[in-house]
Amino acid sequence: MISTSLDHEVLNQIESLDLNKDQPLLISDADEVILNFVRTFETYLNNIGLYYDLSSYALFGNIKKIEKNIPIANDEIIKHITNFYNLHTEEISFVDESVECLKRIDNDLGIQIIILSNLPHHNREKREISFKNNGLNFPIISNSGLKGLAVKQIAKKQENKIFFIDDISANLLSAYNEVDGIKLIHYISDERLEKLASTPKEINFKAKNWKEIYNYLEDETS
């Protein structure tokens, strides 16, 4: 069932944001956009006798036992994702050029940046530490499920252009359905996953790397 309301933790995080309503805003996902989540998660899985079968762009149904080549149950996948974040949130590496381009988007283009990431709320501080250790001092909102409602709530604070980057088409479409005029950017950093995904017609820009994202934002705000 699709949720029709934000949980209180997400709402409180958004309400605490200090934004300039007159400046453009970039809302960006983290995993598979800024961070190499899947490759780090694969290492975790391999170390416990599991692997990610890249036959479709989904975790559920594709995490399998190495010895028997059979998928594990969805509740087991959720348990492993939670454990992975608990152990390795600060260790996930950054996508090539993401750090440099985010800094330039902030400093050179004057675009405000918010990170909207689906991860357990109690791991948000670890993700903040990871970003700050790389010179990225942007607000991080921890979310779960589709992101449209969170983007809608953030958009209430803005009067200028809003851009939203995500690797998951469903998240982009949920924002499209909630926020009029939002500019949607589809970007999947892992080339293996990129080949498995399609880009809906509602998307404004399909990016291949962070330099393309920077150039698109520069053109849209100049």
DSSP-based three-state secondary structure for 101: helix
d(CA 207, CA 162) in angstroms, rounded, equals: 17
Query: Per the structure, how many domains does the chain have?
Result: 2
* 168 token code pair: 């998951």
* pLDDT values of the chain reduced to their tens digit, one per residue, 222 residues: 455 689 999 999 999 999 999 999 999 999 999 999 999 999 999 999 999 999 999 999 999 999 999 999 999 999 999 999 999 999 999 999 999 999 999 999 999 999 999 999 999 999 999 999 999 999 999 999 999 999 999 999 999 999 999 999 999 999 999 999 999 999 999 999 999 999 999 999 999 999 999 999 999 999
Phi and psi at residue 129, in whole multiples of 5°? Answer: -60, -45
Residues 6+ apart with CB under 8 A from 220: 161, 163, 183
Range(s) of the domain holding residue 178: 8-36+93-221
Q: Domain boundary at 45, 67, 91, which?
A: 91
Residues 214 and 113 in one domain: yes
Residues 158 and 211 in one domain: yes
Q: What CATH number did the domain enclosing 196 receive?
A: 3.40.50.1000
* 156 token code pair: 């209430």
d(CA 152, CA 79) in angstroms, rounded, equals: 30
Count of residues making up the chain: 222
For the whole prediction, is pTM greater than 0.85? Answer: yes
